[in-house]
Structure 1
Amino acid sequence: MTPSTHTSAPHVRKRGGNTVEPYLYLLPFAIFFALFVIYPVGYGFFVSLHRWDLLADTRPFVGFEYYKNLFTPGTPQAEFFWNSMKNTVFFTAVSVPLLVFTSLGLALLLYRPIIGRAFFRAVFFLPGILTVSVMGILWRWMFDNQIGMVNAARTEIFGLQPLAFLSVEGLAWVPIIIGTVWWTIGFNMTLYLAALGNISQSYYEAAELDGASAWAKFRFITWPLLAPITLFVVVTTALASFQLFGQSLVITAGGPNRSTQSTIQYITEEAFTNNQFSSASAMAFMFGLVMLIFTFLQFRIMARDARGEN
């Protein structure tokens, strides 16, 4: 007589069962997110709807008055805010392509097995560990109107007259843009180096058998396969460029004539120099909205190109 065997069915948790365990893991992040993101954003919006004076006993509700000031011609807020927005967009439009294509070019050069490759990689990456104040002081000194190294080279080597880089509109952007590229190019270069290492060499071997040139291999193999990382680099670099603050503050102090003043720099001035906290909060929300729209459109366009859609 064989003993009967009993096979017990495994315990299966029903989908949608009542359990709080996943939420307990999310709770610490949710607390910090609410404390340091949700609450400050909500409080800032509340401030923008009131006439906020730290020394006053009452702070009357004014609705969207400070938002209307940003679109009312003739008000200082409208003039200086949109001027700073123009400066920020200009800086972003110039610096992002430079940071993307220059870092890609460096990555392509340093991906090859050349002598001193690790040394050169470190040289291009090391500036990124500097603080913005150190970087700003360095490039302000480099482009100083009188004793700067750039003007010294122009005079001693080429026999040219020195240029007032820091006090002429237009020229003042040169040290800011060059300094920013020098300061941040190493991070993007490292991302591209990692992406290049993930491309299988079999693609290039097959292309060589077909007689493809170096340009053809880059155009039809390297560039398409780098599309996802390029999307990431462009979006993150654009967001960082929109947040321009320290470079223009240290190198040119926003001058001359506010020609290099960034949006965040003007919002800071409105809040902590002019003590107009409500106006500054409204500007911050408007600036955040512009950044969201720009990032959304940029992400959609780049993602569509990465998928090969028309």
Structure 2
Amino acid sequence: MTVTSPPRRAGTRTGERFSLEPYLYLLPHAVLFFVFTVYPIGYGLYIAMHRWDLLSGNQPFVGLEFFRNLFVSGTPQFDFFWRTLLNTVLFTVVSVPLLVAAALGLALLLQKPIFGRSFFRAVFFLPGILTVSVMGILWRWMFDNQIGLVNAAREAMTGASPIPWLSTEGLAWVPIVVGTVWWTVGFNMTLYLAALGNIPESLYEAAALDGATSGQQFRFITWPLLGPQTLFVFITTALASFQLFGQSLVITNGGPNRSTQSVIQYITEEGFTNSQISSAAAMGFVFGLMMLVLTAAQFRIMARDAREPQGKEAPGGEKA
């Protein structure tokens, strides 16, 4: 006797039914995402499109007026916003390559079986646990115009007069950049150390048998295999550098003449010192959109390079 199953309706699966359970697992994250991300963004956009006065209950709708101020030459918002944004870009362009190169160099050195390797790894990593205020006070004292350790050491060795680091445009960036590299290089170094530990030693042994030098081994083995880690380090470091705030605030307070003031520092000043909440909200939106575009471009360009097959020939005629 042949038993036939009942016909199924089109578009359904046997035993399939709607289950609420997966959505319940997603609900806590969805609630937090809405409360702490979607709602603040929407409310910030609402503030940016109204003339917001904390001392008055009247907030008239002004549309895109505060956004327009950022793109009309001659307004204070235009002058200071783009100037401080340029300061931030300058800091990022200088600090990111230093942080990537220094972290990779330290990782290559501390991967080798040298005496005290664990101690030196801790020495370079521990500054990262300091708060930005402690780090800023330390490097402000180091580069103080009169009693700073840098000027004292320079005077003791050469007899030269002190350099006014903190009050000279251009030179004021030195303690900020150097302090930031000292403060954060340990994290990137740790990422590179973990990545270097995952490269098979057999690749280096085979390259050495083929007569490859240390530089060739780095070029054809180490650097290509560190592509994903370099992508991650570069993007996270660039994003962190664009968020420059505490270092310039504590070390130079944005001076001299706003030459080291970051864009986030100016947005904070506009909102809480000048009481221009709506203008600060508009600046925050414009700066946030710039960060999104920059991040998308970095991912697209560098991820494409990381996916490209390594077709370069290594020493000995073999593909790397």
1:138 counterpart SS class: helix
Give the match for residue 69 of structure 1: 69
Q: Are positions 1:218 and 2:222 aligned together?
A: no
In the other structure, the counterpart of 1:8 is none
Shift of residue 294, structure 1, vs aligned partner: 1.0
1:77/1:87 CA distance change after superposition, 3 Å: same
Question: What is the alpha-carbon distance in structure 2 between the residues aligned to residue 91 and residue 16 of structure 1?
Answer: 57
Structure 1 residues 248-287: aligned runs within 5 Å: 248-287=248-287
Aligned residue in 1 for 2:297? 297
1:170 alignment partner in structure 2? 170
Say if 1:271 and 1:226 are closer, same or farther in 2 by CA, change over 3 A.
same
Equivalent positions of 1:126-137 (< 5 A) are: 126-137=126-137
Q: Which amino acid aligns with 1:281?
A: A
Please state how far the C-alpha of 1:14 moved relative to its aligned partner. 5.4
* Stretches of 4+ aligned residues off by more than 4 angstroms: 13-16
For the structure 1 residues 206 and 309, does the alpha-carbon distance in structure 2 shift closer, same or farther, using more than 3 Å as the test?
A: closer
| TM-superposition CA deviations, 1:254-294 (whole Å, max 9, x none) | 00000000011000000000000000000000000111111
Q: How does 1:36-51 map to 2 (within 5 A)?
A: 36-51=36-51
1: CA distance, partners of 2:254 / 2:88: 11
Q: How big is the shift at 1:57?
A: 2.2
Deviations 1:29-85 (A, max 9, x none): 111111111111110011000000011221010000000000111100000000010
Aligned twin of 1:153: 153
Asked whether 1:95 is paired with 2:115, we answer: no
Aligned residue type for 2:100: V
Partner of 1:7: none
Q: Do the aligned partners of residues 14 and 42 (structure 1) sit closer, same or farther apart at CA in structure 2, a change above 3 Å counting?
A: farther
Per-residue CA distance 1:177-221 (angstroms, 9 max, x = gap): 000000000000000000000001111111011010000000000
1:203-253 per-residue CA deviation (whole Å, 9 max, x = no partner) reads 111101101000000000000000000000000000000000000000000
What fraction of aligned residue pairs are identical, expressed as a percent? 70
TM-aligned CA deviation for residue 16 of structure 1? 6.7
- 1:240 corresponds to which letter in structure 2? A
Q: Secondary structure at the match of 2:147?
A: coil
Instruction: Indicate the residue corresponding to 2:81 in structure 1.
Output: 81
Q: Distance in 2 between matches of 1:295 and 1:161?
A: 44
DSSP 3-state at the match of 1:288? helix
Q: What is the match of residue 182 of structure 1?
A: 182
Letter in 2 for 1:290: M
Is there any run of 5+ residues in structure 1 with no aligned partner, and where?
A: 1-12
Letter in 1 for 2:47: V
Q: Name the aligned partner's letter for residue 143 of structure 1.
A: F
In structure 2, the residue matched to 1:191 is: 191
Shift of 1:309: 7.1
Which residue of 2 is the match for residue 227 of structure 1? 227
SS at match of 1:104: helix
TM-score with structure 1 setting the length:
0.94
Matched, 1:34 2:45: no
Pairing 1:125–2:131 present: no
After superposition, the Cα gap between the structure-2 partners of 1:113 and 1:272, relative to the gap in structure 1 and judged at 3 Å, is: same
TM superposition score normalised by structure 2: 0.91
Q: Return the alpha-carbon distance in structure 1 between the equivalents of residues 14 and 267 of structure 2.
A: 53
Deviation at 1:116, TM superposition (A): 0.1
Structure 2, unmatched stretches of 5+, are: 1-12, 311-320
Q: Which residue of 2 aligns with 1:139?
A: 139
Equivalences, count: 298
Q: More displaced, 158-167 or 247-256?
A: 158-167
AA at the equivalent of 1:211 = G
Distance 2:16 2:226 in 1: 40
Distance in 2 of aligned mates of 1:289 and 1:202: 46
**What secondary structure, in the 3-state scheme, does the structure 1 residue paired with 2:166 have?**
coil
